[in-house]
A = this chain, B = another copy of it.
Amino acid sequence: MDRLAEPSAPGARQPRESRAGDLDLADGASADAQRRLAAAAVECFAEHGFHGTTTRAIANAAGMSSAGLYIHHSSKEQLLYRISLHGHQVALEVITAASTSADPTERLTAMMRAFVRHHARHHTTARVLNYELSALSPEHQQEVFTIRKAIDRLLLDVIEAGVARGQFHTSSPRMTLVALVSLTIDVARWYRDDLPWTPEQIADHFGELALRMVGARDLGAAAHTSGPSPA
């Protein structure tokens, strides 16, 4: 199961003294129900889209009644929001954790590899996170966009650091950033489990492509995975 499909039980984050019927009161059984609902919702949203999914379909897939769903989530949008928020938080953690090296070439390679691998492994959730944003309320959209901007910022930082050091050469760091993000996000659209490539192989190749895209001069250092370097 997709790790992102299992938002940590919101009940665990909050004190127990909230209102009755509130998510925050979730005990163990409730947390399990929430996980099942989130997993079911991800599958439904990924296959039929948010608007093409009824709350009844989600409840059915989770093995509960529609009334049972509303105990845990006040609306379908609320469910999408929790999935989106958690998924984006995890994505930011993944790319931040890979963003440690002081060397821009190494850092960009590690970030792209980690991010591409994450999108391939969790492609079903990633599809929901990236293609259902317009279904969120304006406030929830803003919250998620803030996280997306933080991810973009991390990637732009490493591109600009590489350019400043003379390691990268690009006429437009921002357009190149968009292209790097495209490579990653689009994995969620095309990835299938029956492909001849593992997430790791895709991550390696795309890490190498990223270095080429930013015009990294010294491709030998990080392009250690496969094939001849381009220059």
Contact = CB atoms under 8 A, between A and B. Distances in A.
A213 B217 contact: no
Contacts of A212: 212-213, 215, 230
Interface string A170-187: 111001101101110111
Interface residues of A, number: 50
A70 interface: no
A209 B205 contact: no
Interface string A205-227: 11011001101110000000111
B172 A227 contact: yes
A65 B49 CA distance: 26
A3 B54 contact: yes
14 contacts: A3-B52, A49-B49, A49-B51, A51-B51, A51-B52, A171-B205, A171-B227, A171-B228, A172-B226, A182-B183, A185-B189, A212-B230, A215-B230, A215-B231
A190 to B, nearest CB: 6
Contacts of A137: none
A1 B186 contact: no
A142 interface: no
B172 A205 contact: yes
A51 B48 contact: yes
A50 interface: yes
Contacts of A217: 230-231
A82 interface: no
Interface in A69-89: none
Closest 4 CB pairs of A and B: A51-B52, A171-B227, A215-B230, A231-B231
